[in-house]
Structure 1
């Protein structure tokens, strides 16, 4: 269907009756009477906090090579904290990223290794934490270049082809869904969603926003929604991630206004824990785990969110606090751990 046939900010979606899978053991989409699905927290900053190497060009991919036991432990702790979805450590395992370290030929192997670690952690934790048995593994698909440099995003078929290779590998390795995350431009988001479609698993799309209500790359949420519709692409969930918590409320309102009242995808957010301070620069932890959890829980109630979590700077403690707030409300007590 030509793009001109779509009214502004309105698209036709396959109804998201669930956002995980249709097998009997799957977690179903939260209804208004139940808590949202809970994503895990940060991988990169948490791996670094535990001593894993974290520098360019491989960043979090270093841990797959040098510290796999730390990766496995982080996945397991997020599951013990109550996460419903754990995310693979594949933010930097595209061949393009690995090529900068002479490891392009290891892309498939490292991606499969990352998936195996997440699945293995689920099996391990499920033995003592029954909730983990139903947890799902999300295969992370990141921007091909620096996620905070929209100007570096590829604008040709290379983006589609590279994301398609990643999606295929993740699905073949056994993920339950594909999470395209930290996208800052419409064109690469469209390429990634197109590449991830057709593999028989749900596709979630998470984008970075900025304080003027637009995507980090400067485009509007309306442009994103309309472009998905123009390309006849459906996503099972639309999320805002790796964005300052203080501006997420406005962004969610903007996003919601661009979606139809019926048949829209699930909506969610997993902000980072920091903020930019004009006097001291970026603060990794601008709040406490309990305050963060309470604010995210408030957002979930205000906007009717289906999925919530936390991004850079968070730890399993932040996930545990979110679990408490989602299950028991704002009366949840703070945990003194970091």
Structure 2
């Protein structure tokens, strides 16, 4: 391990507790709390209007058993806030606030829970959503943006720096649809040598990510990157995610992360969900994922604290 990179928090937890349990959906939980997310800023809109509700959702997940909270910065970007008339200095403070809210919820929770030897002190992952999330047109599930590496780097760097400066324990490069964007994020991470991140892709099917690149190629590209602490998939239906775990386990030595969605389908144009929920036996599915090689397990869109509580009861 590099002398610059500290023991990453994922390894620190997995040495004693396995699997590491993530939280579930943030945006759909905010909606259940009465927040209106019909906005290009999506969950980042709540930062402007009701930040305390974000803290409440984080606390709900910690109480349910989550070992890690993912911040509300998935769609919080300098470019996105600028479209709302918010200039860069304030936008960066709002991005930092996503970490502050998660850490405060964690610290308040841990004051009451720290005597519980059956779980680790939870960590906070700063969410770095894809460029397509900013576009708000569903292209995080396609990935062919038609922009240069430099354009992607200029877009992502301010948010990454803000999350690191705010004290996120690690970064979550999540729902990444293309190898191009993943490589750009991996390169940017080098500018923060003491910081690590997990890298999770959106999927076209069980063997390829959204842009058509084979999952095994993605695994090989990042297998020797010490700052990538885990690699995996998120926001995919359970059957597809399960197949992808098997592919990854054959092609990487890193911990494998999986946090699928509920199984419903998202319509980016209408911003609505359709179809049938498929995660009603989440804890039973987690046993299959664990046996296939996953060491970090949680939920994405449309999952809730009840799903995470079921995971915690099964594994803790």
How many positions carry a matched residue from both structures? 297
1:107 matches 2:100: no
Q: Distance in 2 between matches of 1:265 and 1:44?
A: 29
> Does the C-alpha gap of structure 1 residues 30 and 285 become closer, same or farther in structure 2, counting only changes over 3 Å?
farther
Q: Distance in 1 between matches of 2:146 and 2:43?
A: 20
Give the 3-state SS of the residue equivalent to 1:206 in structure 2: strand
1:204 matches 2:187: no
Counterpart selection for 1:76 from 33, 48, 59: 59
Q: Distance in 2 between matches of 1:272 and 1:196?
A: 27
Q: Is the 8 A contact 1:57 1:101 kept in 2?
A: no
* Structure 1 position 139, deviation (Å): 0.5
Q: Distance in 2 between matches of 1:215 and 1:97?
A: 25
> Does the C-alpha gap of structure 1 residues 284 and 108 become closer, same or farther in structure 2, counting only changes over 3 Å?
farther
* Structure 1 position 127, deviation (Å): 2.0
Task: List alignment gaps of at least 5 residues for structure 2.
Answer: 134-139, 267-272
* Structure 1 position 275, deviation (Å): 3.5
Q: Is the 8 A contact 1:193 1:233 kept in 2?
A: no
Give the 3-state SS of the residue equivalent to 1:59 in structure 2: coil
* Structure 1 position 198, deviation (Å): 4.2
Q: Is the 8 A contact 1:137 1:176 kept in 2?
A: yes
1:144 matches 2:131: yes
1:118 matches 2:102: yes
Give the 3-state SS of the residue equivalent to 2:132 in structure 1: coil
Counterpart selection for 2:209 from 210, 215, 224: 215
Q: Is the 8 A contact 2:143 2:178 kept in 1?
A: yes
Give the 3-state SS of the residue equivalent to 1:35 in structure 2: coil
* Structure 1 position 311, deviation (Å): 0.5
Structure with higher Rg: it is: 1
Which residue pairs with 1:194 in the alignment? 187
Structure 2 length-normalised TM: 0.86
> Does the C-alpha gap of structure 1 residues 317 and 233 become closer, same or farther in structure 2, counting only changes over 3 Å?
same
Q: Distance in 1 between matches of 2:187 and 2:146?
A: 16
Give the 3-state SS of the residue equivalent to 2:172 in structure 1: strand
Superposed CA deviations along residues 5-38 of structure 1, whole A, max 9, x for unmatched, are xxxxxxxx97x9964178xxxx43246xx43111
Which residue pairs with 1:323 in the alignment? 312
Task: List alignment gaps of at least 5 residues for structure 1.
Answer: 1-12, 328-338
Structure 1 length-normalised TM: 0.80
* Structure 1 position 322, deviation (Å): 0.8
Q: Distance in 2 between matches of 1:121 and 1:153?
A: 39
Q: Distance in 1 between matches of 2:122 and 2:190?
A: 22
1:297 matches 2:287: yes
Counterpart selection for 2:30 from 42, 47, 72: 47
Residues 237-256 of structure 1 aligned to structure 2 (within 5 Å): 237-256=230-249
